[in-house]
Amino acid sequence: MSNIEKNYQAAKEQYAAIGVDTDKALKNMEKLVISLHCWQGDDVAGFEGEGELTGGIQATGNYPGKARNAKELRADMTKVLSLLPGKYKANVHALYAETEGKVDRNALEPKHFAGWVAWAKENGIGLDFNPSYFSHPLSAEGFTLSSGNQSTRDFWIEHGKRSRKIGEYFGKELGIPCANNIWIPDGYKDKPVDRFAPRARLKDSLDQILKEKIDRKYNIDAVESKLFGIGSESYVVGSNEFYTAYATQNKDKVILTMDAGHYHPTEVISDKISSVLLYMDEVLLHVSRPVRWDSDHVVIYDDELQAIAQEIIRNNFLGRTHIALDYFDASINRIAAWTIGARNTGKAFLAAMLEPSEQLKKLENEGDYTSRLALLEEYKFYPVAAVWDYYCETKNVPVREAWLKEVKTYEQTVLSKR
């Protein structure tokens, strides 16, 4: 018996004493699916060659070795997947289409993503999708689906329609539903006079995009809000109130996306999940880490990440929640950035599954807040790490920081040669 297994057996006994079955928790981890975002690997550049990012998106840093094409990007993601325990999907943006020559976004077809589907099949994973409403000449004025220019709006409406068909293609080919997430950067840098008209145009655009019925077993549409962006500091058309109302009114067509960095700095999505799921069947989460603003820092094992996982597990929401990572750090090794965020997210969910939630709820319902607080604090020091190590070992991925050595080797043998 290895030391890791010995530590697990000891942890198993400790958890059993408080009514927690660690074997059951590990089995439940099979229900957790995390969507790994492709844009961490190349700083959201994509394959269009349009140049620098625009539309409220910004990646900072110039760490060497970023992926320059689809072959390199998918190779990097394959390496990351080998370092992660559990089940994953890959999340693809429209600007990662592989085309022969120039194909504009209103002309994209499923065939332009055949390489992604082939790769997903090789790795036994699903794919998610995102129409790309930024870094394009027709987004330069700051408005896409809410644009007052009809031809501009028509262009982006068609892009949205085609993105849904690409999502449907993913779902049919892979047998796993594709979460197709709509986010636009539309807004004003300074205070507008008319807040209503752009939102009315956005509503109409969404209605047109979503008019065709697509089976949710293939494609699940979602809409994502934001508080502010670069160049839209004073007014964002697709606000939280707009999309929450739209998703509630159209729950048969869309679900709501909540991004950890898209709210006021004092707001957290862990406090919003239970409210949303009272009125909606499902929710999509973008797990990120804002630092003072929506800065898309690598996810760490902090209080909010744990709170998100606890809210989902305590209320049995896992089957109703789509979990995706969304950050892009170009200041550190990109393979490491992916791995750190994904492993931390897995750790947070495992820790939540190892909590005696029913016991704590009982104390809360009885008004014994003293015991609730005392036990919540004591349980933080229970040996979740020993269970995580065992989980990694049983999944044949590196245990603890051993993954970093593999990343360093990959950097020397692959990334440094780019």
Q: What positions carry a catalytic annotation?
A: 183, 224, 226, 259, 262, 286, 294, 296, 326
For residues 123 and 109, give the distance between their C-alpha atoms in angstroms, rounded to a whole number: 23
Residue 401 burial (C-beta neighbours within 10 Å; 0-12, 13-18, 19+): exposed
Where b means 16+ CB within 10 Å and e means fewer, 59-97 reads beeebebbbeebebbbbbbebbbebbbbbbbbbbbbbbb
DSSP H helix total and E strand total for the chain: 14, 10
Closest Cα to residue 201, out of 171, 230, 237? 237
For residues 145 and 133, give the distance between their C-alpha atoms in angstroms, rounded to a whole number: 8
Residue 375 burial (C-beta neighbours within 10 Å; 0-12, 13-18, 19+): middle
Instruction: Supply angle C-alpha 340, 260, 92, rounded to 5.
Output: 65
Contact 44, 299 (CB under 8 A): no
